[in-house]
Amino acid sequence: MNPLVPVSTDPGRTSASHRFQRLSVETGIRLALILAIFVVFAASAEDFLSPGNLYSILSQFALLGLITAALGVTMIAGEFDLSVGAMVSVSAVITLKVSDAYSPIVGLLAGIATGALVGVFNGILVAFLRLSSLVVTVGTLVLLTGIAYQIANNSVVSYDNFDVSSAVDDPIAQILSARSLITIGILVLLGLMLRFLRGGRYLYAVGGNRAAAFAMGLPVDRTIVLSMTASATLAALAGGLLAFSLLGASPTTGGSLLLQGASAAMLGGIALSGGVGTATGMALGALTLTALNSGLSLQGVSSALIALINGLVLLIVIVLNARNLGTVNGLLVRMSRPLHSFRGRTENSNGR
Amino acid sequence: MSALTSTPTAETPPGRLTAVRSFFTDSIRANPQGTTVRAAAVVVLLLGIIAIPGFATLNNFKGLLASVSLIGIAAAGMAIITISGNFFMLSMGATTAVSTIVFATTLSLGLLPAIIITVAVGTVVGLLQGLVIGGWGANPIIVTIAAASIILGAGELWSGGLTIFGDGDPSSLNAVLFDILPVQVLVFFAVVILIHFVIQKSPFGRQIRLIGSNRDTAEFAGLPVKRTVIIGYVIAAACAAMAGVLLGAEFDFDVISAVLVGGVVVTGGKGTVLDAAVGAVFIGMVGNLLIVGGQSFALQTVIKGVIVIVAVSAAALLARRKGKR
C-alpha cells in the first residue's frame, strides 16, 4: 500500500465491520426501547395491542415516518430543514384544491411537484449561495405559511370525496393501510438508496466531512440540492396523503410536525453533526414516538402533558447525544459555513 | 476608516458635499445590509405617508409602534443568541406566550411584583436552556424546539387550557405619554439601547461577539465561554418575558425575520442589536402598510417570507463579491 495515498475518508468504508457492529448494537438498543414501550403499555392498557390501536399507531406512523425521513435525509447531509411543517400544510391545501378541480391523482401530483420545486429552491440557495440551511428554511417557512393561507383563503379546505379517504385509509390485513404501506415502502427504498447507491454514499461523505468530500471531487453542491429536494418532496407527499385521509386541510395542518420529526430522527440515531444515520433508525425512531404517544393518550394523558413529554424526550436524547458527538462544534462547522470556509483549503474541518 | 477619508475634505468648504457622500459610502461599506434596511425603512415610511390613506394617522402610528415594540424587544434578545453563534432561540414565542399567563396570574399581587415575578420566571427558563446549550454543549436549535414544547405544555397544564384574566390593574402599562408614545415604545427603546451598548461596549459583549465569530479562539484565549453563553440565554429569555408582560403572542418567526433582515449574520459575530431593532421596525412597517392598504394576512406573510429570502440571499451574494475582491 502506498502510504502517500490518503485512506478513503468515507466513514462507511474506513472501518466497515467495526461500524456495522456499532450500528447493529445501536439498532438493538432502539429495538429494545420499542419493545419496552410496547410491553409497558400492553401491560397497563389491554386495548394497546388490539388491532384497532395497532392500526391507529401505524396510521400516525405513516405521517411521522415520512417527516422523519425528510428531516433525516437533510440531517445526514449536515443540513436542517425547518420548513417541513409548513411544506406539509401547503401541499395538503394544494392537493385538495387541485383534486377538487381535476382529479385526486392530479391533486397529489401537484402537491408533490410543489414540494420538489420548493426543495430545489432551498437547495440552490444553500448550495450555491453558501447560505445556512437554517436561514434559508426559516425564510421558506414564513413564505410557505403565507402561501398556504393565501390558497386556503384563511380557512379550512374540505373535499368530500370519500372514495379517496377509503382508498388511503381502509385497513389492509387489519392493521395496515395504503398510507402506512406507502411510508414503509419509501423507507425501505430510502434505506436501499442510502446503502447501495453512489448518491447515497455521497450523502454520508458530504455530511460527515464536507471538506474531504470536496477535496475528493465529489459533487457536493449537487448532493446538497438533492437532499433538500428529497426533504421537501417527502414532506409534500406526507401532506397530500394526510389531506386525503382527513378530507380536509388548513394552513396550520403541519403545526407540531417539526418537533415530532426532529425527536423521531434523534431517537433514531441520526446525528445533527451529519454523516450518521440509517433509514432503519428513522423508522424505529418514528415508531417509538408514535407508540409512546398512542400509549400515553390511551392512559388518558392530556394533550398538553403529551406535548410536554415529547419535549422532554427530545431534550433527553439531545443531551445524551451532545456528549458523544460534540454536536455544537460539528454543527457550527457544517451548517453555518456550508462551503466557503474551506474552499481553497482542504484541512480537516471536522472539529473535535 | 471613516475618520481618515472624511476629515480632510470636511475642512475645505467645497468638500462638504463629498464629506456627506463619503459618510454614506463609508456606512454602506461598513454595514451594507443595515444601511440598506434603514434606507428601505425610510422609503416604506414615505411611500405609506404619500400613497396609503389612513397610514399617516396618529392612531395607526400608535398601533404600529406598539406592535413593533413587542417584536423589537424580543428581537434584541434574539440578536444576542444569533451574534453568539447559536443561531436562533426557537422557544422565544413560547416563553412570551407563557409569560403572559404568569403575568396575569400574579397581577393580583400588584403591578411591579407581577413584572418582577414574570421576568424572573423567564430568567429561570433561559438559565435552564443556557445550561443545556452552553454548559452541556447540546445543539441550540433542537434544545430550544424541545424547550418550546415543554414550556407551552407546562403553560397549558398550569392554566388548564383556559384563558386567565388578570386580577389587578395593569392600566399604567397601556398609558400613553404625550398623546403619542405608548409605554411599550419607551420600554422598547430602553431595552434596545441598553442591550446594544452592553453588546458593543462591555467586556461581556465583546466576549459574546468573539465566541460568535470564533468559538475556538475564545476558548483558547481563556474566556469563560460557557458562562457567557448561559448569560446570553438568560438575557434573551428575560426579553421574551418582558414582551409577554406587555402583550403576549407567539411570534418566533417574526422575531427571527427581524434579526435576519436587520443584518445580524447567522454565522455569528457580525451585526448589532440595533440592526435587529431596525429590522423589526422595517418588517412591522411593511406589515402595517399592507394591513392598512387592505391586504390579507396571507399576502402579508408571503411578503415577509420573500423579504427574508431576498435579504439573506443579497447579503450572501454581497459577501461573496467582497471575498473575491
* pLDDT of res. B229: 94
Residue A320 at interface with chain B, using a CB cutoff of 8 Å: no
pLDDT at B176: 56
Please give, rounded to a whole number of angstroms, the shortest distance from the CA of A197 to a CA of chain B. Answer: 30
Instruction: Give the total number of structural domains in chain B.
Output: 1
Separation in Å, CA B211 to CA B265, B268, B270: 14, 8, 11
Contacts of A135 in chain B (CB under 8 A): 260, 266, 312
* Residues B102-124: b if buried by 16+ CB within 10 A, e if exposed: bbbbbbeeebeebbebbbebbbe
Nearest-by-CA chain A residue for B264: A135
- Contact call for B139 and A340, based on CB within 8 A: no
- Among all chains, which residue has been given the C-alpha cell 370525496? A161
Q: What is the rounded CA–CA span in Å between residue A110 and residue A106? A: 6
Q: Which of A87, A94, A136, A332 has the most B C-beta neighbours within 10 Å, making it the best mutation to test the interface with B?
A: A332
B63 lies in some domain: yes
Does residue B1 lie within any of the structural domains?
Answer: no
In a domain, B7, yes or no: no
pTM of the model: 0.84
Using CB atoms, pick whichever of A258, A308, A318 lies closest to residue B153. A308
Position with higher pLDDT, B294 vs A261: A261
Closest CB from B143, B150, B296 relative to A308? B150
Rounded to the nearest 10 degrees, how much is the dihedral formed by the CA atoms of A216, A220, A221, A222?
110
Of B146, B215, B260, the CB nearest to A315: B146
Copy the grid coordinates of residue A186: 419509501
For residue A262, which residues of chain B lie inside 8 Å, CB to CB?
142, 145
Strands of A263-317, DSSP E:
none
Tell me whether residues A315 and B316 touch, CB distance under 8 A.
no
Write the pLDDT tens digit of every residue in B63-104: 888 888 888 999 999 999 999 999 899 999 899 989 988 988
Q: What is the pLDDT of residue B10?
A: 43
Do the beta carbons of residue B60 and residue B288 sit within 8 Å?
A: yes
What residues of B are in contact with residue A134 (Cβ under 8 Å)? 87-88, 141, 266
Name which of B138, B145, B297 is nearest A154 (Cβ-Cβ): B297
Q: B136 — contact with chain A (CB < 8 Å)?
A: yes
pLDDT higher than threshold 60 for residue B6: no
Among A131, A256, A339, pick the best mutation site for testing chain B contact (most B Cβ within 10 A). A131
> Residue B173: inside a domain, yes or no?
no
How far does A120 lie from chain B, in Å, by closest CA? 14
Q: What pLDDT, in 10s, does the model give residues B156-190?
A: 888 876 666 666 656 656 555 555 677 888 889 99
Element counts in chain B: helices (H) and strands (E): 14, 2
Of A140, A266, A306, the CB nearest to B142: A266
Cα–Cα distance measured from residue B200 to residue B209, given in angstroms and rounded to the nearest whole number: 9
> What grid cell was written down for B137?
454543549
Residue B224 has pLDDT above 80, yes or no: yes
Is there a contact between A331 and B298 if contact means CB atoms under 8 Å apart? Answer: no
Residue B28 lies in a domain: no
Residue B27, domain member (yes or no): no
Asked if B223 contacts B280 with a C-beta cutoff of 8 angstroms, the reply is no
Provide, as residue numbers in chain A, all residues whose Cβ is less than 8 Å from the Cβ of B156: 304, 307
Contact B298 A141 (CB under 8 A): no
Residues 277-306 of B with CB under 8 A from A: 296-306
CA distance A274 to A11: 11
- Report yes or no on B304 lying in a domain: yes
Alpha-carbon distance A50 to A294, whole Å?
12
List the single range of A237-241, A292-296, B14-18, B213-217 with lowest mean pLDDT.
B14-18
pLDDT at A161: 86
CA gap A262, B136 in Å, rounded: 19
Over 60: is that where the pLDDT of B7 sits?
Answer: no
Whether B31 maps to a domain, the answer reads: no
Specify the CATH number for the domain of residue B220.
1.10.3470.10
* Nearest 10 degrees: Cα torsion B195, B243, B58, B290: 100
List CB contacts (< 8 A) between B267 and chain A: 132, 336-337
- All structural domains of chain A, each given as residue ranges with its CATH number in brackets, are 45-336 (1.10.3470)
CB contact under 8 A, A263 and B146: yes
Residues on chain A touching B145 (C-beta within 8 angstroms): 258-259, 262, 314
Most confident of the ranges A260-274, B230-244, B247-261? B230-244
| Average confidence (pLDDT) per 10 residues, chain A, 352 residues | 40 50 68 84 85 92 96 95 95 95 95 97 93 91 94 89 87 90 96 92 92 92 96 97 93 86 89 88 93 90 89 85 49 42 36 31
Rounded to 5 degrees, what are φ and ψ at B177?
-90, 140
pLDDT at B60: 83
Domain housing B184: 36-168+178-324
